[in-house]
Chains A and B, each alone.
Chain A
Amino acid sequence: MPTKLYNEPSPLETRVVSKRFGLENSHTLDTYLANDGYKAFRKAREMTPEKIVDEVKASALRGRGGAGFPTGLKWSFVPRTSPKPKYIVINADESEPGTCKDRLLMEYDPHQMIEGILIAGLAIDSHKGYLYIRGEYRYLIEHMDRAIAEAYAKGYLGKNIAGTGFDFDLYTHSGAGAYECGEETALLDSLEGKRGIPRMKPPFPAVAGAWASPTLLNNVETFSAIPPIIRDGGAAFAALGTPKNGGTRLVCISGHVNKPGVYELPLGYPMLKAIYDVAGGIPGGKKLKAVVPGGSSCPLLKADECDIPMDYDTLAKVGSMLGSGGMVVLDETTDMVKFALRIMRFYAHESCGWCIPCREGTTWLRKILQRFVDGGGRKEDVPLLGELSKNMLGRTFCALGDAAAMPTISIVDKFPEDFEKRLPAANSQLVVV
C-alpha cells in the first residue's frame, strides 16, 4: 500500500486530521500508536458519555459530509437508553462531485477514523458499527478490512478493547454505485439491502435508523476529527476555526488551478487565498470566473463573490454552502451552459426516482440544457430553466432536488451571457410566447 501522496502538501495547511499523511506506513496500527494513537480513546473511556458529547459540542465540529449539522448536537439526539441495540454507521459513500477527501483519510489514517468511531460508541453506548463504502472504492474496502483485521488482532477492536473493557465490532459494507446512498436515510435503506430510497423524517435515524434501531450516522472526516478533539480538547479544536465553525477541514481543490489537491485548512480560511496561494492560482494566468464552493450541490459563486472566509455560516450568508469541501475553480474559458448541463446530467442520472419534482424535473432540465448545448436553445428556455428549478426547490422528498436546483439557478442568474452566446443568432431576438 503506497504511502506516496497523490499531491504535494502545502506549507499553508493546518494539519490536524491529516497530520499523519505522508508518514511511512501511516496506515498501520503501529505507526498510529506511535503517533498519539488511542490516547483519546483511553481518555474518553474515563469520561461520562455526556462529557464526551459536551466536548464534541464545544469543538463546534459540524458534519463534514455536506449538510454541516453540528455534530455534538446530533450525537445528543440518540436516546440514552433503548430496548434495541444502537448502531454507528459511517458514511463513506463520498460521491459528491468535487469531493475526494474521505478516500485519503481511509487510505492514510484508517485507525484515526476507527478510534473516532470507538469514542462515538462510548458516547452513545453503541457496540456495533458499519462502514458503508461506495462500491467504486473497492481497494479501500479491502484496505479497511485489513486495517480492521489488524485492530482486532492487536486488541483494538472486538472484546475488551485495549484492556478497557469496552467491546465494539466494526464491519465494512459495500455500496454498488448510487450517489443518493450518500443521503443518510437512503444509506440506511441500502444498508438494509434495499434500493437506496430516502425515508421520511421523523423518525430521525438517531431514534429509528438502521433496522429500526437508534443509529448515529456521520461522515468519515467527522469521525476522524473526534480523536484530536477528545485528546486536545474541544475548545482547542474550535479555536482553530471561527465562532460556531470550529476546527479545520479537508478542502479538495480541483479544476482550473496549478496545484489541485486535498489540503487541510482551518474553517474561515480566505477562499481567494486557497485558490491562489494554496492551489497555486489559475494556469496560464487566466481570470477566475466562478467557484463551486463545496461540491456540485452548492450554488456557484461569481469571481467577485469569492473574497470571503470559507466557513459554513459565511457561505450560507452569501447564498451558497460550505458543503462537502469540494471546491472547484472555473476560469474565464469555462462554458457555463456546458457546466450546467453536466451538473444536471449527474443529478438526472442519480435521482432515485421516488418523488415527482426531482425525477421529472432533473430529466426535463437536462433535456433543455442538452438542447441548448446542441445549438437548439431558445430565449424562453433561460427563464424556463430558472422557473423549473424553483419548482423543484424545497418541494422534493430529499435534498437531491435542491442540490440539482440550486447550482442551476445560480448559473442561470449569474451567467446569462453564456446562455445568450449559445442562442442561434436568429433566435436571440425571439419574444417569450
Chain B
Amino acid sequence: MTFSPQLEERFAKMLACYPEGRKRSAVVPMLIYAQDETGAVTEELIAEVAKRCEVAPLQVDEVVGYYSMLHRKPLGKYHVQICTNISCMLVGGEELYEHAKKKLGIGHKGVTADGQFSLEEVECMGACSWAPAVEINYDFHHFVTPEKLNQLIDALKKAH
C-alpha cells in the first residue's frame, strides 16, 4: 500500500525520529495522517501501519477504537465538528449544533447522501474564549452563529 509522496516523506521522517526499535510510536500519527488520504481507517490501512511500525495488527486495531478522531467509516468531504462543551454551551453551542443538524439533515456522525458533509458533536477543541467554536476538517472557526454557519456551509457547497 502506498500513499502520496508528501505523506510517504512524512512517514519516513516519522519512523526515523523515535529511538531505535521504537517504531510503534509512529502508529497513532500514521493512522491519523493516512486517514485523510484513505478516507477512513480500513483493514488494509491497519495492516499497512502494523507492517511499517513492526507491530501486530491487533495492536494497531486496539488503538483505533480508543482515539476519537480515528474512524473506521468514511466521513463527509467536509467534516463539521461543533463543540457543545461548557464554554460553547453557555453562548449557544447546543443551539448551533441543533441548527447544524437541521441545515445538513443529518445527526451525530451522520454523512449527507452526497458524501459532502458529515457532522459531529465534539468535546472542547480549545477555542473557549472565542466560542461558539466550529472545526471543519482541520480549520477553526470562532464566534460562529447559525447565520455564520450557514454561510460557511453554503460557501463549501458552492465551491463544489
Contact = CB atoms under 8 A, between A and B. Distances in A.
Q: Is there any pair of Cβ atoms, one from A and one from B, under 8 angstroms apart in the complex? A: yes
Interface of A: 6-7, 85, 94-100, 102-103, 134-139, 169, 171, 173-179, 190-196, 211, 213, 252-256, 260-262, 292, 296, 326, 328, 330, 334, 338-339, 342-343, 346, 349-350, 352
Contact of A98 (B24, B53, B91, B124): B124
Given A97-B86, A97-B87, A174-B28, A7 B130 contact: yes
Contact of B128 (A137, A179, A254): A254
12 contacts: A103-B127, A135-B69, A136-B125, A139-B138, A174-B32, A174-B33, A176-B29, A194-B63, A255-B90, A260-B87, A339-B89, A342-B85
Given A326-B128, A342-B86, A211 B67 contact: no
A292 B90 CA distance: 12
A195 B126 contact: no
B68 A334 contact: no
A254 B131 contact: yes
Give the secondary structure class of A's interface.
mixed
B131 A192 contact: no
A175 B87 contact: no
Contact of B123 (A169, A195, A328, A350): A350
Contacts of A176: 28-29, 31-32, 67-70
Given A175-B67, A178-B68, A191-B25, A139 B86 contact: no
B114 interface: no
Given A176-B32, A343-B86, A196 B66 contact: yes
B75 interface: no
B86 A296 contact: yes
Contacts of A134: 126
Given A99-B128, A196-B67, A254-B128, 19 more contacts: A6-B130, A95-B124, A97-B124, A98-B87, A103-B126, A135-B69, A136-B81, A174-B33, A176-B67, A178-B67, A193-B24, A195-B63, A211-B19, A260-B129, A261-B130, A328-B86, A339-B86, A342-B84, A342-B85
B68 A177 contact: yes
A255 B135 contact: no
A349 B25 CA distance: 24
Nearest to B17: A171
A135 B63 contact: no
Interface in B11-40: 17, 19, 22, 24-29, 31-33
Given A253-B129, A260-B131, A193 B87 contact: no
B139 interface: yes
Contacts, number: 152
B140 interface: yes
Nearest to A87: B19
B87 A254 contact: yes
B59 to A, nearest CB: 8
Contacts of A103: 126-127
A173 B29 contact: yes
A42 B78 CA distance: 46
Contacts of B55: 193
Nearest to B63: A195
B62 interface: yes
Contacts of B130: 6-7, 100, 260-261
A292 B126 contact: no
Contacts of A254: 87, 90-91, 128-129, 131
Given A176-B67, A292-B86, A350-B123, A136 B135 contact: yes
B142 to A, nearest CB: 6
A346 B123 contact: yes
A254 B130 CA distance: 8
Interface in B53-93: 53, 55, 59, 62-63, 66-70, 81, 84-87, 89-91
Contacts of A175: 28, 67
Contacts of A98: 86-87, 124, 128
A70 B84 CA distance: 33
A143 B127 CA distance: 17
Nearest to B41: A176
Contacts of A326: 87, 128
A85 B62 CA distance: 29
A104 to B, nearest CB: 9
B28 A193 contact: yes
Contacts of B33: 174
A354 to B, nearest CB: 11
A42 to B, nearest CB: 27
